[in-house]
Amino acid sequence: TAASTVSALLVGRVVSGVAFGFYSTAVNVHLAECAAPASRGALLTLPQVAVSSGIALSYLYSVIVILWGGGFRAMLAASSVMSVGVAFSVWLMPESPRWLLQEGRGEDAKEALCQLRGGPTKAVELEWSELASSTRRSEVASAGDKGGRSVGKGGWGLHALFRERSVVRSLAVCCTLQALQQLSGINAIIYFTPQVLQEAGTCSMFTTLLPSLRRHPSACSLLATLASYLPKLPAILLAMYLVDRVGRRMLLLTMMPPLAGSLAALAVSLSLPQSCWYRSQMALLSLSVYGIFFVLSLGPMPNMITGELLPTDARGAGMSVSVGVQWVLSSLVSVSFPILCSSIGTGPTFMCYSAIMACGWFFVLLCLPETSGVSLESLQLLEKEKERKRTATLTKRCKRCKARA
């Protein structure tokens, strides 16, 4: 906010970007480890609620700042206030019981679990027994592993994350989901929606209703962006309701086809001639529908499933790798979008995103397990059992091939 040179502004952006990278990793791991199985999906949707409502507020605040003649410093100052509030609220949070157990602090872990569940009850005792027995199994496995996991405190390092086949498979699924999220074009839409709607002629709809906006084209395009973004907010609340009832996998399989369809409709609207009377309305509606189905599917699911699918001693490192894939793809999409628009056109670019979503639907159908309503420890056991069966099947096939040879 106080930067006086471009270099100082870039340094501030780098520092805030690194901080947000740590924050986005820690939040999802902490929520996954602290939430009860029955409400884990709803709680893991909360970061998406915060992000989407924050973006909507930033659009509205930017319109107000532009109309009042303010600059970028006023915009950045608002986010600084929110960051201070978050920093103070962190001190009120209990630590993850699973992390405390992994660190050998059993009494603190049990106290944290009781605090999270509202006191010592029979259900809490059962959950505690499952947590403690899972930790003991993990310690035994660590002690018997001579070349992978570090024994004792600290869990896995990145070097050991790839040494167990079931974890590698789970990590590959999580990273692919993160890649699909970004290749849906979400950050291209967030960053470039004002320009896309300007190209579609949507701003003329708002200048007709509010003639004073003709003097502020930037405010007009941001207002159009806000109008396309607002339907996302009630859709996120619907996602919170559905995710633990319908299931993660089924929600993705149901919502990804209309997500791909909305991208295709946006591509078609931008390919229509400028004289077409419904071009701008179709673009605005397509963006609104896209936002709704994004938050019902690929918005919250990648981080949610990453926090659930990876085992406790690999969750932190795995989440870091998964979120790293997310941010690398986010940067690539953001950089490549204007290049693709200038080379093949805006409409064909969105059609490419739509085709990727269609391929992603088959990936979810074939590769993604259901994680809702199951404790994290049970998920670990299920994944190891699946991997054991896959290994046994491959061994049998190899023996048959050798016998035939």
User: What is residue 179's predicted lDDT score, i.e. its pLDDT?
Assistant: 96
- Asked if the model's pLDDT at residue 141 lies above 80, the reply is no
The structure tokens listed for 401 are 């091939």
The structure tokens listed for 247 are 């299931």
Tell me how far apart the alpha carbons of residues 27 and 174 are, in angstroms, rounded to a whole number. Answer: 16
Report CA-CA distances (Å) from 45 to 6, 57, 241, 250, 257: 36, 19, 10, 16, 21
Task: Work out the pLDDT band at 328, boundaries 50, 70, 90.
Answer: very high
- Asked if the model's pLDDT at residue 155 lies above 50, the reply is no
- Asked if the model's pLDDT at residue 122 lies above 60, the reply is yes
Tell me how far apart the alpha carbons of residues 152 and 104 are, in angstroms, rounded to a whole number. Answer: 8
Residue with tokens 């929110």: 82
Q: What is the mean pLDDT of residues 247-272?
A: 94
Tell me how far apart the alpha carbons of residues 18 and 374 are, in angstroms, rounded to a whole number. Answer: 33
Task: Give the other-Cβ count within 10 Å of 384's Cβ.
Answer: 16
Tell me how far apart the alpha carbons of residues 144 and 141 are, in angstroms, rounded to a whole number. Answer: 5
Which letter, b or e, does each residue of 184-201 get, where b requires 16 or more Cβ atoms within 10 Å of its Cβ?
bbbbbbbebbbebbbbbb
Tell me how far apart the alpha carbons of residues 168 and 155 are, in angstroms, rounded to a whole number. Answer: 16
Q: Determine which of 136-145, 158-167, 236-245, 342-351 has the lowest per-residue pLDDT on average.
A: 136-145
Q: Determine which of 189-198, 232-241, 252-261, 326-335 has the lowest per-residue pLDDT on average.
A: 189-198
Task: Work out the pLDDT band at 379, boundaries 50, 70, 90.
Answer: confident
Taking only the tens place, the pLDDT of each residue in 345-378 is 999 999 999 999 999 999 999 999 888 877 777 7
Tell me how far apart the alpha carbons of residues 384 and 137 are, in angstroms, rounded to a whole number. Answer: 13
- Asked if the model's pLDDT at residue 149 lies above 80, the reply is no
The torsion of the CA quartet 308, 311, 315, 318, rounded to 10 degrees, works out to -100
Q: What is the mean pLDDT of residues 55-64?
A: 80
Most confident range (mean pLDDT) of 29-38, 101-110, 253-262, 302-311 is 253-262
Tell me how far apart the alpha carbons of residues 99 and 128 are, in angstroms, rounded to a whole number. Answer: 13
The structure tokens listed for 101 are 């157990």
